Amino acid sequence: MTATPSLDIAGFEIAHTGPDTPAGRYLRRFWLPVAMLDDVAPGRAKPLHVLNEGFTYYRGGSGDPYLVGFYCAHRSTQMSTGWVEGEELRCFYHGWKYTGMGQCVEQPAEEDAFAAKVRIEGYPVRAYLGFVYAYLGTGEPPPFPRVRALEGEGHLEGRSFVRHSNYWNGLENACDQVHINFAHRNSRYHASGVIREIPQIDAEETAYGIVRDVLFSDGKRRIAHTLMPVGSLISTWDRQAGWVQHLSYRIPIDDASHISFTADLIPLAGDALAQWKAAREERSAQLAALAPYDAVVRGALDGSINLHELDRADIVNVQDDVALAAQPPVGSRPSDRLGRSDIQIIILRRIYARELRALAAGQPLTEWRIPDDLAGTGGA
Ligand code: FES
Ligand SMILES: [Fe+2]
Tell me what the pLDDT averaged over the chain comes to. Answer: 93
Please identify, by atom number, the ligand 1 atom nearest to the C-alpha of residue 94. Answer: 3
Please identify, by atom number, the ligand 1 atom nearest to the C-alpha of residue 95. Answer: 3
Question: Do 63 and 126 share a domain, yes or no?
Answer: yes
Q: Are 189 and 316 in contact (CB under 8 A)?
A: yes
State how far the Cα of 364 lies from the Cα of 119, in Å rounded to an integer. Answer: 31
Residue 8 located in a structural domain:
no
Question: Do 173 and 217 share a domain, yes or no?
Answer: yes
Q: Give the residue among 68, 249, 237 at the shortest CA–CA distance from 158.
A: 249
Q: What is the tens place of the pLDDT at every residue in 322-367?
A: 999 988 877 777 778 899 999 999 999 999 999 999 999 999 999 9
Please report the pLDDT score of residue 380 as a whole number.
67
Say what the pTM is: 0.94
Q: Are 16 and 8 in contact (CB under 8 A)?
A: no
Question: Do 171 and 105 share a domain, yes or no?
Answer: no
Structural domain for 95, as ranges: 31-135
Q: What is the tens place of the pLDDT at every residue in 2-19?
A: 444 444 544 458 999 999
Neighbours of 379 (CB within 10 A): 20
**Mind spelling out the 3-state secondary structure of 183-205?**
CCCCCCHHHHCCCCCCCEEEEEE
Residue, of 309 and 63, whose pLDDT is higher: 63
Mean pLDDT across the stretch 371-377?
A: 96
State how far the Cα of 137 lies from the Cα of 141, in Å rounded to an integer. Answer: 7
Backbone angles phi, psi at 378, to 5 degrees: -75, -90
Question: Do 212 and 242 share a domain, yes or no?
Answer: yes
Number of the ligand closest to the Cα of 110: 1
Number of the ligand closest to the Cα of 174: 2
User: Domain tally for the chain?
Assistant: 2
How do the residues of the chain divide into helix, strand and coil, expressed in percent and rounded to 5? 25, 30, 45
Q: What is the tens place of the pLDDT at every residue in 65-116?
A: 999 999 999 999 999 999 999 999 999 999 999 999 999 999 999 999 999 9
| Cβ(93) – ligand 1 distance below 6 Å | yes
Question: Do 65 and 185 share a domain, yes or no?
Answer: no
Residue 309 located in a structural domain:
yes
Give yes or no for residue 296 having a pLDDT over 50: yes
Please report the pLDDT score of residue 6 as a whole number.
45
State how far the Cα of 79 lies from the Cα of 95, in Å rounded to an integer. Answer: 10
